[in-house]
Structure 1
Amino acid sequence: MTDLPTQPFGVLRQGEATTQHLLIIDDSPAIIQLIARMLHGVAGLSFATRGMQALAQMRAQAPDLVLLDAEMPSMSGFELCHLMKADPELREIPIIFVTGHGESDVEVRAFEAGAVDFITKPLNETVLLARVRTQLRIKRLTDELRRMATTDGLTGVSNRRHVDEVMQRECQRAARNGTSLAMLIVDVDHFKHYNDHYGHPAGDLCLQAVASALASVAHRPGDQVGRLGGEEFSLLLPETDLAGAIDVAESALRAVRTLALPHAASPSADHVTVSIGAASLPAPGAALHAASLLMNLADKALYQAKSNGRDRCEPSDPRCL
């Protein structure tokens, strides 16, 4: 049997300038080898020979583009495409169908399934390269537009709209996998006094510094820092229980203290501090209800942290679940 490529998913070959990744899905090792040779240096490459294997890889790390064989055993490329388009985590991944059938009805079926392009076998290297490069370029531009639309302009972290979208997605993932989901709500203590004393330009710099400090403790790829509005931030922590959320919150408190930003107008400290409410759901149920419940629990815990003197984290009350 022909050896399959050994390049790990998401790891670039030496000398590659791109950080984009392409997943080749085909039940034929020979075809995978052929495509890998044709696309050498274009992107980081990985492969899968079965639909379920491909789904697992994509959920672990989403590729920028999928080359998908239409005819595979167990699960056809069309079936896999439908599953991807039904999954909020995978539906935006562009798919190029690769098939030995050049009939117009097969091509129409591919586009109706959600493919962005269609290539017939035997493969022409020039055509394959041109179409793959085009789709990777479109994906890069689309990602940049999406990043601009989901980023808070002042602090560079996720904006409120994106926070809400990611919460829904992570609630669905946690419900599907039976895992916990945690959230921290972070409020800059006495920020109005800070603005009044130092001025709004200094206040903007303060928020940027706090956002950077929070981002420094969100180590895992799935952790997300967002700005809810004004001086209020959030940290969404997938697969994290309440104890884990409190650990992250304590790290966040230390990171903000380490900034040592003077706050002469604060009634509670001579430097900028934050208060944090922590909440976790063991295994969220309905996504809409879970997202609202998680945020409400964290918000109540934040109120408790402020009431208890600020510059601290308070956990949510488990009796509220």
Structure 2
Amino acid sequence: MNVGATQKVLVADDDAINRQVLGELLKPEYSVLLAKNGEQTLERAVRHLPDLILLDVMMPDMDGYEVLRRLRADPQTEHIAVIFISGLDRPEDEANGLNLGAADYIAKPFNATVVTARVALHLQVVRQRRMLERLAHIDGLTELANRRRFDEVYANEWQRARDARRPLSLALLDIDCFKQYNDRYGHPAGDRVLRSVARTASSFMRRPVDLAARYGGEELVLLMPDTFSEQAQQLVTGLRLAIEQLTIAHDASVAGPFLTVSVGGATLELEAGESAAELLDAVDNQLYRAKHAGRNRVEWRGPLAARP
């Protein structure tokens, strides 16, 4: 869910009047989906991934308890919050629903004020949980993805590239003489520089599947799924030039008067059966070559499409 996006509520009830009343009650604040039985609920939950489901317990084809069991068994829907709404008002009925993983239990006949308050409360919890999940994946200084997030995405993209036999390009970017920059201008200035480089790198990751992440220290990693070697080389060469053209003074650099970066990269060698770790090692070796060949340059495994 994007920050500020309208949250989705799925109302599942076999009674048409209940569906209509609940739908009209929630529509002013939320995007409302309707389902009239258990199968519809499961299908729409997978297709739309609502933030919350209001689920009737007593439905003819599949009761709400079974629907909840199936939601929790599916990785796509296991985290969706569920509130039971039911005419079963015995304590053991409520306990059964909560033990299965329901977030709340509202007895019928329901009170509109109670329903709207409970829905608002649980959707606030959903927003907060997702914000925490997002923050857990973000580097606090650069606001790029952090190493943990990169590791997760990289593992998935490497597997996808191997299975689909599609290219996957990877690059490591290192700020030249960054220690000397910090020594000369101070660590607060170094932090500002790192943020500037991160913003520039992020601006070059133009597709939703591309990822720029902080790899560690002054190193950034660029993940470019479904990108052939020549395309990736052209992109990172443009990025290297863009960072140099920020004209951030760096008197202590051996690479030039302005702040620059060295970049090493490689594209997955599918025919060789290259592992995820081997591709990372290859990229790291190319970065080493770039730094020891004078810095402020791109080194790519294989022939370079665009020399710096």
Greater mean deviation of Cα atoms: 266-275 or 24-33:
24-33
Does structure 2 conserve the Cα–Cα contact (< 8 Å) formed by 1:187 and 1:231? Answer: yes
Structure 1 counterpart of 2:236, from 246, 249, 269: 249
Q: Given residue 117 of structure 2, which amino acid in structure 1 is its aligned partner? A: A
Q: Tell me which structure has the larger Cα radius of gyration.
A: 2
1:152 equivalenced with 2:143 (yes/no)? no
Task: Label 1:276 to 1:26 Cα distance change in 2 as closer, same or farther (>3 A).
Answer: farther
Q: Quote the residue 2:118 is aligned against.
A: 131
Does structure 2 conserve the Cα–Cα contact (< 8 Å) formed by 1:186 and 1:274? Answer: yes
Greater mean deviation of Cα atoms: 157-166 or 117-126:
117-126
1:78 equivalenced with 2:65 (yes/no)? no
Q: Quote the residue 1:7 is aligned against.
A: none
Structure 2 counterpart of 1:305, from 274, 290, 297: 290
Q: Quote the residue 2:82 is aligned against.
A: 96
Does structure 1 conserve the Cα–Cα contact (< 8 Å) formed by 2:11 and 2:22? Answer: no
**Distance in 1 (alpha carbons) for counterparts of 2:56 and 2:227:** 37
**Distance in 2 (alpha carbons) for counterparts of 1:96 and 1:247:** 48
Task: Label 1:170 to 1:108 Cα distance change in 2 as closer, same or farther (>3 A).
Answer: farther
Does structure 1 conserve the Cα–Cα contact (< 8 Å) formed by 2:42 and 2:71? Answer: no
Q: What's the TM-score, normalizing by structure 2?
A: 0.72
Does structure 1 conserve the Cα–Cα contact (< 8 Å) formed by 2:52 and 2:83? Answer: no
**Distance in 2 (alpha carbons) for counterparts of 1:72 and 1:266:** 74
Q: Quote the residue 1:24 is aligned against.
A: 10
**Distance in 2 (alpha carbons) for counterparts of 1:202 and 1:268:** 19
C-alpha deviation, 1:176, in angstroms: 8.0
**Distance in 1 (alpha carbons) for counterparts of 2:111 and 2:217:** 55
C-alpha deviation, 1:300, in angstroms: 2.8
Structure 2 counterpart of 1:277, from 258, 264, 276: 264
Structure 2 counterpart of 1:292, from 277, 294, 299: 277
C-alpha deviation, 1:188, in angstroms: 1.0
Q: SS where residue 259 of structure 2 aligns?
A: coil
- Aligned-residue Cα RMSD (Å) equals 4.1
Does structure 1 conserve the Cα–Cα contact (< 8 Å) formed by 2:23 and 2:34? Answer: no
**Distance in 2 (alpha carbons) for counterparts of 1:152 and 1:135:** 28
Structure 2 counterpart of 1:117, from 97, 104, 129: 104
Q: What's the TM-score, normalizing by structure 1?
A: 0.69
Task: Label 1:27 to 1:138 Cα distance change in 2 as closer, same or farther (>3 A).
Answer: closer
Aligned residue pairs total: 291
1:223-250 Cα distance to aligned partner (Å, 9 max, x none): 4332122101123345545455445424
Q: Structure 2: 5+ residue runs without aligned partners?
A: 304-308
1:204-260 Cα distance to aligned partner (Å, 9 max, x none): 111111111112222344443321221011233455454554454244324323322
Q: Given residue 46 of structure 2, which amino acid in structure 1 is its aligned partner? A: L
Structure 2 counterpart of 1:183, from 162, 166, 170: 170
Q: Given residue 236 of structure 1, which amino acid in structure 2 is its aligned partner? A: L
1:212 equivalenced with 2:202 (yes/no)? no
1:86-107 Cα distance to aligned partner (Å, 9 max, x none): 35xx65x441144556366665
C-alpha deviation, 1:80, in angstroms: 4.1
Q: SS where residue 185 of structure 1 aligns?
A: strand
**Distance in 2 (alpha carbons) for counterparts of 1:120 and 1:293:** 58
Q: Given residue 55 of structure 1, which amino acid in structure 2 is its aligned partner? A: V
**Distance in 2 (alpha carbons) for counterparts of 1:223 and 1:279:** 15
Q: Quote the residue 1:4 is aligned against.
A: none
Q: Given residue 152 of structure 1, which amino acid in structure 2 is its aligned partner? A: D
Q: Quote the residue 1:268 is aligned against.
A: 255
Task: Label 1:156 to 1:317 Cα distance change in 2 as closer, same or farther (>3 A).
Answer: same
Task: Label 1:197 to 1:175 Cα distance change in 2 as closer, same or farther (>3 A).
Answer: same
**Distance in 1 (alpha carbons) for counterparts of 2:256 and 2:34:** 55
Does structure 1 conserve the Cα–Cα contact (< 8 Å) formed by 2:262 and 2:291? Answer: yes
Q: SS where residue 243 of structure 2 aligns?
A: helix
Q: Quote the residue 2:306 is aligned against.
A: none
**Distance in 2 (alpha carbons) for counterparts of 1:274 and 1:294:** 21
**Distance in 2 (alpha carbons) for counterparts of 1:22 and 1:148:** 22
